[in-house]
Amino acid sequence: MIRAHDPQQSKHDPRGLAMPVWYSVAGLLGLVTGVVGVLFPLGLLLGAGAIIGVVLILSILRDPFFGVLCIAFFLPFERVGGMDVGGMSLRIHQVLALITLGSWIFTKLVHGKLRFKANPLFWPLYLYMLVNVLSLTRSFNLRRGFLVLGFTVFVWIVSMMVAEIVDHRDRIVRVVRTLFISATLVSIFGLFQFVGDEIGLSPQLTQIRVGWYDKNVIGLTRLHSTALEPLYFCNYLLVVFPLLISLILNLNEFSSVETLHATSLQVKKEKNRPQIFARPVLIGMAMVMGLAYILTVSRGGYLGLLLSVVVIGFISFKKVFTPRLLILALIALVGVASLSAVTGASSSKLSLEYIQHRATTFIDTMSDWERLETYEAAINAFRVSPYLGFGPGNFGPYVVNITHGTPDNGWGIVNNEPLEMLAEVGLIGFLLFLLAMTIWALRNLAAQIRAQDSLMRALLIGSLASFAGIALQYMTFSTLYIMHVWFMIGFGIALQNYVLSEKTTEHHTERT
């Protein structure tokens, strides 16, 4: 159970005075839904869901940080955990984000402080959104343009909220723990999905997308877990997996560098501060996520993870090539091989040669020629409107020249975010967004130099690796308003703000 008690919360908080009333209402609703579940068996699941929903909502209204934890946990629940409402896909984390935003703003109003902390990305992203609005004047499908812009503004606001609410070390630790637990659970479900489809379990049980990623398509199940596609699942794991790898590699500082150059009191203080999980637990999580990642058979995902590992290895070079970690890596490889043998991966069907042959043969012939066509169309669109583009989400309408309605097979995308951004918001929008992301990366590097807390530095390295991997993966797909990507951006700002704050600097100065 995720708990979000904030020791800094005042016991005279007006929200806290009303909580007995809220819990009374929750108890009454629980009683009613329980009776409905008994009288009408089909309503039992809905009743349980209603009870859980009410408890979550009341907890978020009491403490917005609990909402951030809930968002972090439900980030990977896309296809599984989502539902279609009015022709639109509604996901749990979107609903939770809306509730958390309301709670966050309400909290500020209650305390009479409707002011927001400075965010280094605010102005470049604000100007980027203004360019999006201006580019709507050239859009082919205005309804789609407003819809995409609305989603983009929404996830941007959520990222700013995360950056402000996650404002001290304990909260950072709790968010990371939640991310790790959630990613491990959906990876385990993904492995079940893979094994289940391979042995012939019902698609309703495995939630595999039949005709797209089941074993009959390329002769091998492509794991996508709770996500819509393997590529999106890889994209989500790129938010979490590099953080995990960085912690495993960098958290041995307590027993080496700091132990040699610090007093016993300083080392004791560092060790007594809240950490994430013990290293064996982290290694176990990494093995599960790594195996799930491999079984997605996603080229874009592989390239993104490779760059993330290179970034971590480059920054943590001295910690990578040590006898101890090489032995741990060997143990991890043996563990993955053992798991692969249990799931049938020792057969020729799951050999690396087989995966490479079947995946490249199918994916190359089915998608590469489509990508070349969309790349050319995006370049042509940029040439026609180089400064403002044709409006957010309007590459598809531009290609098919549809001003109303939606094609039966959906809107086409470029599958390359930089090209799609140039086509939709032009050079001005692209440069503003690039400026914002450059600021994010440079602040991360500055925070790494400043950081004296080993855990925070490891997380900074991991978040930079995540950022780099996702940026590279965006060369193979182009959906900008993805919640977990913007959650990572906001959480990265929170990390940077904590390390670069005067309070943190003074704390470490006292220790030294």
Q: What does 235-282 look like in DSSP terms, one character per residue? A: HHHHHHHHHHHHHHHHTTGGGTHHHHHS-HHHHHHHHHS--S--HHHH
Assigned domain for 109 exists: yes
Span 305-347, pLDDT tens digits = 999 999 999 998 766 666 766 676 677 666 656 655 554 444 4
pLDDT of 204 strictly over 50: yes
Res 348: pLDDT = 46
Res 506: pLDDT = 43
Give me the sign of the Cα torsion angle 242, 233, 495, 307.
positive
Assigned domain for 5 exists: no
Res 67: pLDDT = 96
pLDDT of 42 strictly over 80: no
What's the token pair of residue 108? 């500020």
Top mean pLDDT of 11-25, 94-108, 170-184, 250-264 is at: 170-184
Q: Which of 364-378, 389-403, 407-421, 426-440 has the lowest mean pLDDT?
A: 364-378
Q: Identify the residue with better confidence: 46 or 179.
A: 179
Assigned domain for 381 exists: no
Phi, psi of 89 (to 5 degrees): -85, 120
Assigned domain for 237 exists: yes
Assigned domain for 31 exists: no
From CA 203, how far away is CA 205, in angstroms rounded? 5
85: enclosing H helix or E strand: strand 82-85
Mean pLDDT of 383-411: 87
From CA 150, how far away is CA 109, in angstroms rounded? 24
To the nearest 10°, the Cα dihedral for 316, 496, 181, 486? -110
Number of folded domains that form the chain = 1
Assigned domain for 2 exists: no
pLDDT of 256 strictly over 70: no
Q: Which of 62-66, 97-101, 249-253, 409-413 has the lowest mean pLDDT?
A: 249-253
Structural domain range at position 261: 63-363+412-511
Res 316: pLDDT = 84
pLDDT of 38 strictly over 70: no
Assigned domain for 252 exists: yes
**Share above pLDDT 90 across residues of the chain, in percent, rounded to a whole number:** 53
Res 9: pLDDT = 45
**Share above pLDDT 70 across residues of the chain, in percent, rounded to a whole number:** 73
Res 109: pLDDT = 85
Assigned domain for 50 exists: no
User: What pTM was computed for the model?
Assistant: 0.82
